[in-house]
Copies of this chain bind each other. A is one copy, B any other.
Amino acid sequence: MIVLDGKALSIKVLDRVKAKVENLSKTPHLAVILVGDDAASKIYVNNKRKAAERVGIKSTVIELDTLISESELLTLINELNSDADVTGILVQLPLPKHIDKNKVVEAISPKKDVDGFTPENVGKLAIGLEPYFYPATPQGIIMLLDEYKIPIEGADVVILGRSNIVGKPMAQMLLKRNATVTTCHSYTKNLEDKIKTADILISAVGKKIVRCKMVRNNSCIIDVGIFRDSNGKLTGDVDFDYMSQSAGYISPVPGGVGPMTIASLMYNASKVY
């Protein structure tokens, strides 16, 4: 069994991004908008800021009061859209309930949408065109699969979860690479039967769902989930200790998809349109 070392690959990717940024005529500038004071969001934003610094991308974190109105936020995004110095805009989610997340995401210029969440970028991906940006997590997972030369073309891929940030774009990107993709979710019946068919299993559920004997021998398991177990220890969707006896490849939590997501985001933030 081979552990997919996302930590090590993320360092390689960040080094490549750094070298690219050094050769750009214009320094990329990422604007990160953080609304309110959610502790987890603050950590994520800080990690992004530090990663940007590391690769030589200028970043500005704009912290806004949780009571900011939707229209004020939309005005700010429009200002950033027309600010020629700003090359990337990222709104840290979740947003407070009084703000319509979709409206906010739609307001971001597709050419600065480093998360790849705007309808135009999502739509281009869905019809097989090149979006300005691919969503960071699935893009990072593909980098990981490619690094370890795991065949995607013709592979039977089962995705658990259908979120807009992982499951759905992951399905599109793997379909584009000629995988046969099955998307499962809370309404899926006979889940174990489906998991057993997977050459590549991608779990993005957020609870310990992939347990012993569920997965075919020698398959590749990508664990996107990350949460704390009852002992406060960071863990993923997959029973790693058990799986490591039967899986061919497995991405650990932490140290798998997490660091790849950040590296993939920095790869996006280094693109200047």
Seen from chain A, the residues whose Cβ lies within 8 Å of a Cβ on chain B are 102, 117-129, 153-154, 156, 162, 164, 168, 171-172, 175, 178-185, 187-190, 194
> A interface, by DSSP: helix, strand, loop or mixed?
mixed
CA A266 to CA B210, docked complex, whole Å: 46
Q: Which residue of B lies closest to A156 (CB)?
A: B189
Residues of B within 8 A of A120 (CB): 119-120, 123
8 Å CB contact of A183 from B118, B127, B128, B180:
B180
Chain B CB within 10 Å, residue with most, of A123, A125, A189, A190: A123
Q: Which residue of B lies closest to A117 (CB)?
A: B127
Name the distance in Å between A178's Cβ and chain B's nearest Cβ: 4
Q: Contact at B181–A126, with CB atoms within 8 Å?
A: no
Q: Contact at B188–A184, with CB atoms within 8 Å?
A: no
Residues of B within 8 A of A123 (CB): 118-124, 126
CA A121 to CA B127, docked complex, whole Å: 11
CA A187 to CA B119, docked complex, whole Å: 28
Name the distance in Å between A7's Cβ and chain B's nearest Cβ: 30
CA A119 to CA B131, docked complex, whole Å: 10
A171-B183, A175-B183 given; name 20 further pairs at CB < 8 Å.
A117-B127, A119-B124, A119-B126, A119-B127, A120-B120, A122-B123, A122-B127, A123-B123, A126-B164, A126-B172, A127-B164, A128-B164, A153-B187, A178-B185, A178-B187, A180-B184, A180-B189, A181-B182, A181-B183, A182-B182
Residues of B within 8 A of A118 (CB): 123
